[in-house]
Amino acid sequence: MSRIGKKAVAVPNGVTVTLDGQTVTVKGPKGQLAWTLPEEIVVSQEGGELTLAKAQDSTRAQAMWGLSRTLVSNMVEGVTNGYERTLELVGVGYRAQMKGQMLSMQLGYSHDVDVTPPQGISFAVPKQTEIKISGIDKQAVGELAAQIRRMRPPEPYKGKGVRYAGEKVRRKEGKKK
């Protein structure tokens, strides 16, 4: 039984939720997000809360119930506060800089790696070795952070590479003589 699906999603002041059939549209101070619910899920709005329920009792409905509630909650959180991921560049000569809207990184390759942000995502480089990715869509922010990390993942011997802020890299011992 889903315990997440039972919880109601609180809608704060300044956020409007529109229900159009199975499509949920959330509009807030930072922007607008929409998502279409699966047929197995029914959403209702009463007062300042959204409640999701199963339309039928099946295994798929059970699986989609908690997922749908979490995605709707993430949309409300995104248009209210937004999401941010921070990446750290560790290594000699590893650095990042902004070129207009584009992010340009030196990651030990013979060329610079340039990343153009998708719609709704923005980059910030407070330090040469730190990248902040922000936007209102949690999935898009996390996916872009993972793609950038995949360009040079942290290696276990020296710890060089792109890592999430606060990530612990498990170090290995080098060759012994």
Domain boundaries, the chain: 9-80, 83-164
pLDDT of residue 2: 63
Whole-number Å distance between alpha carbons of 70 and 3: 11
Whole-number Å distance between alpha carbons of 70 and 143: 17
What is the pTM (predicted TM-score) of this model? 0.89
pLDDT of residue 3: 85
Whole-number Å distance between alpha carbons of 63 and 52: 13
What angle, 0 to 180 degrees and rounded to 10, lies between the N-to-C axes of helices 138-150 and 59-80? 90
Answer for the pair 161, 126: CB distance below 8 angstroms, yes or no. Answer: no
Per-residue pLDDT tens, the chain, 177 aa: give them. Answer: 568 888 999 999 999 999 998 999 999 999 999 999 999 999 999 888 999 999 988 999 998 999 999 999 999 999 999 999 999 999 999 999 999 999 999 999 999 999 999 999 999 999 999 999 999 999 999 999 999 999 999 999 999 999 999 999 999 998 888
Architecture of domain 9-80: Alpha-Beta Complex (3.90)
Do 9-80 and 83-164 have matching folds?
A: yes
pLDDT of residue 1: 59
Whole-number Å distance between alpha carbons of 53 and 33: 21
Closest CA to 34 of 44, 24, 22, 42: 24
pLDDT of residue 70: 94
pLDDT of residue 123: 95
Closest CA to 68 of 34, 44, 33, 37: 37
CATH class of 83-164: alpha beta
